[in-house]
Structure 1
Amino acid sequence: MRVFLISALAAVLPCSLFANGPEPVAPKPKVTCEQGMVYDKKTKKCVSAQDNRLTPEDLFQTVRELAYAGDYEGAQIILAAMPQDDDRTLTYMGFTNRKLGKAEAGLAFYTRALAVNPANILARSYMGQGMVEQGNIAGALAQLRAIRSHGGTGTWAETSLRTAIATGQTFNY
């Protein structure tokens, strides 16, 4: 078994670990709003995440900004205002729950995201990173193979999961 695992790792760890593309740049908030509020570019004011003038993209951008900044609870408040069957919403619910130490809840959200969209390579990467955190390298390798089979070779999703498998270090974005 050990020989198999070493062989499997050797197959996924090329020498140029980051040659497949740059790390994503964390979005920087243009305006800081109170918790549960979103900056509306049209009105140039912070408004409730429930405001129907906001687009799903406005909400998603705010979720990304909060999650990248480590404000997982704040991100979850905004996520609650988003469509609950959207695979991006489910992916970020998984991510924020996992980062808050709720690994099982995170896994459940990733599983739901993949049921909606099996080609969601970001959900697969985050799920695989959670598996690395739990010591489930075989599961993480399965997610890495799935990322590649869905055309994700060379993406940040693939690179970050491959790095996590190699080093045990997962990413906060």
Structure 2
Amino acid sequence: MFTTTIRFVTLGMLAAGLLGAPAFAAGGGGGGGGGGGGGSMDPFASSSSQSQPQPVYPKRTGTKATQKGKKPNNQSSIDDPAFAAGYRVAYDTIYQRNDYATAISQLKSLGHDDHPNVANLIGYSYRKLGDYEQSQVWYERALKADPNHVLTWQYYGLWQLERGNREQALYHLSRIAAICGTDCEEYRSLAAALDKPTGTAFAY
């Protein structure tokens, strides 16, 4: 009888302990730095998805265009979640896998060829594939959509340097300075490229 009483008391204490224990949310805690930080954040990161794990993009110079004097309807921003998700897939295809041909198809399939971010990345991908003619077409398309798209001015400036057009690259640098000043990452990146010997291969 005494042994049975002890068992009931023990089971009762165990049940009370389990019912009173705090619940831990799945996936909670840790994971600092989920957004990649600073200029390496994707320009289409949505604030509405903050409760979901955010993709971490490679830390690199100038992935987010720096602009001042943005208008409310600036074409460099978008609220369409499906477009943003598709863009992030193409972004990863470029910067994580360096699969530029696939990225071009992915970007074109979004149906927003005239969006400056999309056109710029298509131009970038063509440049990385060595197709400078198509690359130029898409850089020009990006700047037609948004003349203040500094990331395009930076990448197009690198295009100019790779083609031996140093004076044009300097003009692109001056355009960046006029838009975001000389302290923004796009300016510093292109300025550093201009300091390198002719024929240098650029990471971006």
Q: TM-score range by the shorter chain?
A: 0.5 to 0.7
**Which residue does 2:102 correspond to in 1?**
74
What is the rounded CA distance, in whole Å, between the counterparts of 2:159 and 2:165 in structure 1? 9
Residue of structure 2 equivalent to 1:65: 92
Query: What's the TM-score once normalised by structure 1's chain length?
Result: 0.67
CA shift for structure 1 position 171? 3.5
Q: CA deviation at 1:54?
A: 5.9
Deviation of 1:63 (Å):
1.6
**Structure having the larger proportion of residues in strand:** 1
Find out whether 1:95 has 2:124 as its counterpart. Answer: yes
Task: Give 1:80's aligned amino acid.
Answer: K
Q: Deviations over 1:133-164 (max 9, x none)?
A: 11101000000000110115322221221111
- Give me the whole-angstrom Cα distance separating, in 2, the residues matched to 1:23 and 1:167: 23
Please give the alpha-carbon distance, in whole angstroms, between the structure 2 residues aligned to 1:54 and 1:23.
21
Looking at structure 1, the residues matched to 150 and 181 of structure 2 have their Cα atoms a distance apart, in angstroms, of 7
Question: Please, which runs of 5 or more residues in structure 2 have no aligned partner?
Answer: 1-37, 42-55, 59-79
For 1:123 and 1:170, locate their aligned partners in 2 and report how far apart those are by CA, in whole Å: 18
Q: 2:168 aligns with which of 139, 151, 158?
A: 139
Matched length: 128
Contact 1:24 1:156 in 2 (8 A): no
| Residue 172 in structure 1 maps to residue 164 in structure 2 | no
Name the larger-Rg structure. 2
Structure 1 counterpart of 2:57, from 22, 27, 50: 27
Deviations 1:108-128 (A, max 9, x none): 111111011001000010100
Query: SS at the partner of 1:149?
Result: helix
Q: Normalized against structure 2, the TM-score is what?
A: 0.57
The answer to whether structure 1 residue 157 and structure 2 residue 186 are counterparts is yes
* Runs of at least 4 residues off by over 6 Å: none
For the residue of structure 1 that corresponds to 2:87, the secondary structure is helix
Once the two structures are aligned, what percentage of the paired residues are identical? Answer: 27
> SS in structure 2 opposite 1:63?
helix
Instruction: Say whether residues 1:119 and 2:155 are aligned partners.
Output: no
State the match for 2:33 in structure 1.
Answer: none
How many Å separate the matches in 2 of 1:88 and 1:166? 27
Q: Distance between the aligned counterparts of 2:148 and 2:170, measured in 1?
A: 16
Residues 158 and 170 of structure 1: is their aligned pair in 2 closer, same or farther, counting only changes over 3 Å?
Answer: farther
Distance 1:88 1:170 in 2: 23
Tell me how large the CA RMSD over aligned residues is: 2.2
**In 2, Cα distance between the equivalents of 1:27 and 1:93?**
18
Q: Report the counterpart of residue 105 of structure 1 in structure 2.
A: 134
Q: Report 1 or 2 for greater relative contact order, CA contacts < 8 Å, sequence distance ≥ 6.
A: 1
Query: What corresponds to 2:50 in structure 1?
Result: none
Give the superposition deviation at 1:23: 7.4
